[in-house]
Amino acid sequence: MESGKPGRSIARRVTGILGVLVGGILLAAVACAPWGEERRIEPGGKPPVHLLGVGASFPYPLYSKWIEEYRKFNPHVNIDYQSIGSSGGINNILRGTVDFAGSDAPMTDEQLARAPAPIFHLPSVAGAVAITYNLPGVDKDLKLTPQVLADIFLGNITEWRDPELTSLNPELDLPDMGITVVRRSDGSGTTKIFTEYLSKVSPVWAERVGTGTSVEWPTGIGGKGNEGVAGTIKQIPGSIGYVEMAYATQNGLPRALIQNRAGRFVGPTLETTTAAAAGAAVQMLEDMRVSLTDAPGEDSYPIAGYTYLLVYRDQHNQRRGEALAHFLWWALHDGQEHARELLYAPLPDNVVKMAEAKIKEINYKGQPFIE
């Protein structure tokens, strides 16, 4: 009994401290933003509108920025975007559990056929895949033709002093080293764009490996995420791999020049990516699904792709639909300004025009939100 008393009082004290802590956290949460802002009432006395989107992680930094900026522009619309991956985005929009979805790859015909109602593809920005490498003593950009690139990733070219490489880069002093291929180990839109490109330029690749977010790689080691690939390349002299253009630019990684369809060697930049988008717009389908890899055009960088926002054409809730249509319109115009700062390639004008037409079709009971 004697020993029980102090024990109990300690327990009580601990409970007390915990209580104060929990209370404090709750108070802090109440005092902080979203909650505070939600209490703001629209002029009409209506509560604010909440929109939920899920999907691709590649555009997540941009969408976060958009959401933050759009809140300043229109405080009565709260948008939430969760990056759970493109396939998660597509599954959720098909089930109708979200207002919009993000996806790095357009939906397949089979997926669209499963949709209960027409789904629109709206390209939001374009991105590109940079080929980066670790070559000691090489200070100028490496040049690669599509064929050589495919042969390296197929494991057919295994030495940097291979005649194919030295004849392409006579001005470079390529080291006497073996080539170590580094690629993404996690499923990603970046891999999808890269393998789609290799499938287009190399029949052998198309037949042996194919296109996908994860594929069976003929050679090489896998790093997780852009940082995993870049970190691995940095550590293994003689390695080559691919990362997102934005990541390569931010981290000052070397970027190879790739020969495009016009025969020119082009590096990955915002301009060459937008050029690819403009070049591919010619072949764009009416539903805006298009591949940007190996796009025509003098300045087009050949390993590029759109990231899409997926929305239903026919909205079931007037206020949410209206908020969504206006947000998309804003993203298509003002939003493009923010894209450049975050190293996403803005849409070319011809594509903006096409996307405008689509947004004008979004409607509630046949009544479009934007005329």
Binding mask 170-189 for other proteins (x = CB under 8 A): --------x-x----xxxxx
Contact window for other proteins (CB under 8 A) among 11-19, 78-86, 240-248, 271-279: 78-86
Q: Is there binding between residue 370 and other proteins (CB under 8 A)? A: no
Residue 87 or 336 with smaller CB distance to other proteins: 87
Instruction: Give least dist CB 369 to other proteins, A.
Output: 32
**Residue closer to other proteins, measured from CB, 143 or 192:** 192
Looking at the DSSP bridge assignments, the partners of residue 143 are 257
Piece in contact with other proteins (CB under 8 A), picked from 39-47, 134-142, 168-176, 213-221: 213-221
When binding is defined by CB under 8 A, the residue of 9, 15, 158, 235 that contacts other proteins is 235
DSSP state of 57: S
Q: Would you count residue 347 as binding other proteins (CB under 8 A)?
A: no
Does residue number 210 form part of the binding site for other proteins (CB under 8 A)? yes
Q: Would you count residue 82 as binding other proteins (CB under 8 A)?
A: no
The answer to whether 231 contacts other proteins (rule: CB under 8 A) is yes
Min dist CB 112 to other proteins, Å, is 15
Q: What is the DSSP string of 19-48?
A: HHHHHHHHHHHHHSTTHHHHT---TTSPPP
Interface with other proteins includes 132 (CB under 8 A)? no
DSSP letter string, 305-368 = EEEEEEEESEES-HHHHHHHHHHHHHHHTHHHHHHHHTT-BPPPHHHHHHHHHHHTT-EETTEE
Provide, rounded to whole angstroms, the least separation between the CB of residue 214 and other proteins: 5
Residues 33 to 72: which contact other proteins by CB under 8 A?
Answer: 57
161 Cβ contact list (under 8 Å, min separation 6): 174, 175, 176
Axis crossing angle, helix 349-359 with helix 318-332, rounded to the nearest 10: 170
Least Cα distance to 88 among 55, 119, 39 occurs for: 55
CB of 132: closest distance to other proteins in angstroms? 16
Calpha distance 65→11 (Å, rounded): 46
Helix (H) and strand (E) counts for the chain?
15, 14
Residues with Cβ within 8 Å of residue 179, at least 6 apart in sequence: 152, 157, 158, 159, 160, 238, 239, 240
Using the rule CB under 8 A, is 115 a contact of other proteins? no
Q: Which residues bind other proteins (CB under 8 A)?
A: 57, 84-88, 178, 180, 185-189, 209-217, 220-224, 228, 231-232, 235-236
